[in-house]
Amino acid sequence: MRSLSVFNSISLDGYFVDANGDMSWAHRNDPEWNEFVAGNASGESVIVFGRVTYQMMAGWWPTPAALQSMPAVAERMNSLQKVVFSRTLDRVEWNNTTLVKEDPASAIRRLKQETGPDMVVLGSGTIIAQLADAGLIDGCQIALTPVVLGGGRSMFEGVRNRPRLKLRSSRAFANGNVFLWYERAA
């Protein structure tokens, strides 16, 4: 069975986006961090988005600036299969993207039963909360970023069912980021 994980940066005060929905605070450009991110993005997976994150990512990764800034990550983001959940989009134009208009939990439950690469949700707090409540998230990769936002959104905002997780690994970086990888506890 395919697994579903989450990868997001969070601030020290627990937000994955600031009060304006911005995630640019999470980009800490240095060689050690960039090498780690490129290595983490090198595997085969299907990227899962909600509409807002999809539009933000589709507006950045295919650009010449993204290809110059982080070429390995941009190449992977542009070539990997992507799924976007939206009730309002009529079409998607980013390479290898499938638009899904059905309930995210039902669709992910079905996709997990199919053969194929594992899936990872980026950004997309509303989708994450729905999938967590449905018990469909198998792991969380969190980049804890040493910044205090003072407000924003939690990626698990509104979750009623509290998924139990255990720490699989962690790594501290010279730029102050701490990478935390959690798995679903048995």
pLDDT tens track for 59-96? 999 999 999 988 888 888 999 999 999 999 999 999 99
- Around 122, how many Cα atoms within 13 Å sit in the side-chain half-sphere? 16
Strand blocks (E) in the chain? 4-11, 17-18, 46-50, 82-85, 97-100, 119-122, 139-145, 152-153, 165-172, 178-184
pLDDT of residue 169: 96
Q: How many helices (DSSP H) and strands (DSSP E) are in the chain?
A: 6, 10
Q: Span 153-177, mean pLDDT?
A: 91
pLDDT of residue 41: 67
Tokens 């800034």 map to which residue?
69
42 vs 168: which has the higher pLDDT: 168
> 79 exposed, middle or buried (CB, 10 Å; 0-12, 13-18, 19+)?
exposed
- Model's pTM, two decimal places? 0.89
pLDDT of residue 42: 67
For the segment 103-159, what is each residue's pLDDT rounded down to a tens digit?
Answer: 999 999 999 999 999 999 998 889 999 999 999 999 999 999 999 999 999 989 888
**Rounded CA separation 33/13 (Å):** 21
Torsion of CA 133, 107, 101, 20, to 10 degrees: 40
Q: Judge whether residue 22 has pLDDT over 90.
A: no
**Rounded CA separation 24/101 (Å):** 28
What is the set of domains in the chain, with CATH numbers? 4-184 (3.40.430.10)
**Rounded CA separation 45/22 (Å):** 25
Contact yes or no for 82/96 (Cβ under 8 A) = yes
pLDDT of residue 105: 96
